[in-house]
Structure 1
């Protein structure tokens, strides 16, 4: 089984790209969704112990939590120490499940792939990219986003230029959906060919 890490900076179109892989019949494991599930269930109590007042009605309030950790590197490290092991365990369980179903390729949608050092866990890295002006326009159009908040998020992310250099494949999301879809199809074909060669 090929483990594919899919990543990209904020506003690059990673979620749309993940859906394109799904449309090609590839299983995509969404790290953000895993975290979301942990915030509603098993992770909530541990996070509340570390950051009192961020859990409301048994669910982590993401806005309250973000306010506590966004500009505090030590707090962010504490949060990651709680959440990351839970995410990895959930991810491993999902891989076993997909293996049992006979999947040969699994894509892991991980926003902070390089930032967390997770790239070593994958056979292939796909980076979703777009020019800076397209990225800025997309992000600043989001509700509640400010230039300051955007700058703060970018400062914590590996620069797009570095991600592109470290990628095995790129998906460009500024050339229209059809062009991006073609790139995803070509990546899937290349991965299937690699698996066939090694079979």
Structure 2
């Protein structure tokens, strides 16, 4: 079984690639989805978070107010560390469970969609890593259009992440997403064919 990591930068088109991989019939485990699942009411991480941060980080329906929680943790390093302590081991455990379930169904290639794959220091967990990239000027344009940011805000968000050049240098496969969709898809097809060849 081959584990493929998939990452990119903000607004580079990682979700587009992830959706196409699913269309090919290859299972994708999405780290963002898993992270949301483990903080739902009734989950151990949810109980720990509410106990530590208090009920003011809850919405009227009892679910986490992610915006309120984000405001707290991103201005207090020790509180962010505490939140990570509650969530990271649970995300890892849930990911292991999802992997085991997919292997049991006969999956021979699994893709892990992880926005902060390199930042989380987890590249060693994968047989190969794919990075979706676009030129910086296009990244700024797409982020401005997608999130209705001005240029200054878009640049600030991009510069808060690891530089794309560094991610590209550390990847096994680089997917250039600055052309049409078919060009992007052909690159993905080539990577999947190459990976499957290694399974034979």
Q: Common fold, TM-score beyond 0.5?
A: yes
Corresponding residue number in structure 2 for 1:54? 57
Give the Cα–Cα distance (whole angstroms) in 2 for the partners of residues 63 and 144 of structure 1.
Answer: 18
- Corresponding residue SS for 2:6: strand
Residue in 2 aligned with 1:122? 126
User: By how many angstroms is 1:66 displaced?
Assistant: 1.7
Q: What count of residue pairs does the alignment treat as equivalent?
A: 196
Looking at structure 1, the residues matched to 140 and 113 of structure 2 have their Cα atoms a distance apart, in angstroms, of: 21
Q: How far apart, CA to CA, are the structure 1 residues paired with 2:156 and 2:53? A: 21
Deviation at 1:149, TM superposition (A): 4.9
Conservation of the 8 A alpha-carbon contact between 1:69 and 1:76: yes
Q: Does the 8 A contact of 1:44 with 1:55 survive in 2?
A: no
The equivalent residue for 1:173 is 177
Q: Structure 1: 5+ residue runs without aligned partners?
A: none
Aligned to 2:38: 38
Q: Does 1:86 align with 2:85?
A: no
Does the aligned pair in 1 maintain the 2:140–2:155 contact within 8 Å?
A: no
- Per mean C-alpha deviation after superposition, the further-off stretch among 95-104 and 33-42 is 33-42
Q: TM-score, normalised on structure 1?
A: 0.91
In structure 2, what is the Cα distance between the partners aligned to 1:84 and 1:152? 26
CA RMSD of the aligned region, Å?
1.7
TM-score by length of 2: 0.90
Whole-Å separation in 1 of the counterparts to 2:122 and 2:46: 23
Shift of 1:71: 3.9
Q: Give the superposition deviation at 1:144.
A: 6.0
- Evaluate the alpha carbon distance shift between residue 147 and residue 50 of structure 1 in structure 2; reply closer, same or farther with a 3 A threshold: farther
Q: What secondary structure, in the 3-state scheme, does the structure 1 residue paired with 2:132 have?
A: strand
1:107 paired with 2:123, answer no
Q: Secondary structure at the match of 1:128?
A: strand
Task: Show CA shifts across 1:38-97 (max 9, x none).
Answer: 232313222223323212232111211221223443332222221111111110001101
Unaligned runs of 5+ in 2: none
8 A contact 2:35–2:91 mirrored in 1: yes
CA distance in 2, matches of 1:139, 1:61: 24
Q: Deviation string for 1:133-180 (max 9, x for gaps)?
A: 111112122346455654554344211100000000011111111111
Against the structure 1 CA distance between its residues 64 and 144, is the aligned structure 2 distance closer, same or farther, given a 3 Å change threshold? Answer: farther
State how far apart, in whole Å, the 2-side matches of 1:72 and 1:155 are. Answer: 20
Q: Is 1:67 matched up with 2:63?
A: no
